[in-house]
Amino acid sequence: MAKTYSAGVATAYGAAVRGGYTGTYEDFCKDQAEFAENAQQVATDRAAVQAIASTFENTTVPNATAAIQAEGQSQIVNVIGAGNTQIAAVNNTATTQIQNIQAEGTAQVGRVQIAVTAQVDRAESAANDASEYASTASASKNAAQASETNAANSATAAAASATAAADSATTANTKAGEAASFATAAADSATDAAAAKTAAETAQGKAETAQGEAETAAQSVSASAAQITQNAEDIGDLRSAFSLFQENIPGTVQTIAFDSAGNIQSVTHKENNVVVRTDVFTFAASTITEVRTLASGESLTIVTNTDTLETTTTYAAT
C-alpha cells in the first residue's frame, strides 16, 4: 500500500534531514505530534498560573489589607475605651473618698461642739449655785452678828440669838459644803472642757489627714490622666508610622502626576477628598528620591541607588 505524505510535513522533514536529522519520516511525524501536544499543555498551564495570579491580586491582597485595617481600628477603639473607663473609675473613687472624709470631719466637729456647749452650761450653772449659797452664808453671818449685839442688852435675847446664830452657822457650814461641791463640779466641768478641746484638736488633725489623703487621691487621678494621654499619643505615633511606611494607604484614592519625560512626578493620597499624604519623586543620574509627607507635617525620605539597588530611609518629625 502506498504511503500518503503531507506536502508541508514532507518539506519540513526534508529540511530536518538536511540539518542532520537521522530518523525516519514516521519518527519525524511522531515527534511533531508530541511537540504539538506539549505546546498545548504549556499553554494550558500558563492560563492556570495567570488565573491564580489574578485571584491573588484581586481578592487575596484586598481582603488581607481590609482585615489588617479593621484589626488596627479595633485595637485603637479598645485602648481609648479602656482609658476612659480607668479615668471614670479613678474619679468616682476619689470623689467617694473625699465625700466620706468630709462627712466624717463634719460629724466629729458637730459632736465636739455639742459636748463643749454642754460642759460650759454645766460650769455656768455650778458657778451660779455657788454664788447663791455664798450669799446665803453671808446673810446668816450678819444675822449672827446682830444676835450677839442684842445679847448684851438681853440675856434671854442673847441666848435666843446664840441659838439662832448656831443654827445659822450650821446652815452656813452646810451651804459652804454645797458650794465646795459645786466648785468641785465646776472644776470637773473645766476638765471636761479641756477634754473637749483635746477632742476638737484631734478632729482637726483627722481633718488635715483627710485633706492630705484627698490631695494624694487627686495627684493619683492626675497621674492616671497623664498616662492615658501618653497612651493616646503613642497610638497616634503608630498610626502616623503606618501611614508613612505603607506604599498605598488603605482606604485612600491615589492621584498620580507625570512629568514631561513620562516619569512619576507625584502621588496624592486622599480619603473622602481630604489629602492624607503627598509623595514627591525626584530622578537623578543614579538615584530616585521619594519624599512622603503626611498632613501633620511628618515626612519619610526614601533614596534608592539605581546602580546598587540600595535604599536609604530618613524620618523627620513635624
Judgement on whether residues 106 and 213 belong to the same structural domain of the protein:
yes
Return d(Cα 196, Cα 278) in angstroms, integer: 77
74: in domain: yes
SS3 19: coil
Q: Could you report the per-residue pLDDT of 76-99, keeping only the tens digit for each? A: 367 347 646 763 663 576 367 637
Kindly report the pTM of this predicted structure: 0.31
CA–CA separation, 13 and 26 (whole Å): 10
Could you list the mean pLDDT of each consecutive 10-residue stretch along the chain, which spans 318 residues?
A: 61 87 89 83 76 74 64 59 59 62 61 56 56 54 58 50 55 64 66 76 82 81 68 62 85 93 92 95 94 93 94 90
Continuous H helices in 246-288? none
Contacts of 9 (CB under 8 A, 6+ apart): 28, 29, 32
Q: 221 with 82, same domain?
A: yes
Q: Give the per-residue pLDDT at 258.
A: 94
At which of 245, 273, 290 does a domain end? 245
Q: What pLDDT, on the 0 to 100 scale, is given for residue 162?
A: 37
- 178 and 281 assigned to the same domain: no
pLDDT at residue 79, rounded to an integer: 34
| Residue 49 in grid coordinates | 498560573
- Residues 145 and 288 both lie in one domain: no
The confidence score (pLDDT) of residue 148 equals 55
Domain around 265: 253-316
Q: Is the domain of 239 the same as that of 203?
A: yes
pLDDT recorded at residue 305: 95
Picking from 168, 163, 169, the residue whose alpha carbon sits closest to that of residue 150 is: 163
What pLDDT is stored for residue 165 in this prediction? 35
What is the spatial distance between Cα 163 and Cα 173, in angstroms, rounded to a whole number?
15
Which one-letter amino acid corresponds to residue 123? Answer: A
Of residues 234, 236, 268, 271, the one with CA closest to residue 250: 271
Taking the C-alpha atoms of residue 152 and residue 86, their distance in angstroms, rounded to an integer, is 100
For 154-178, what is each residue's pLDDT tens digit?
446 434 643 653 575 476 467 657 7
Q: Is position 298 within any domain?
A: yes
Same domain? 241 vs 103: yes
* pLDDT value of position 315: 93
- Which of 223, 245, 267 is the endpoint of a domain? 245
pLDDT in the model for residue 290: 95
Residue 205 lies in a domain: yes
Say what the pLDDT of residue 57 is.
74
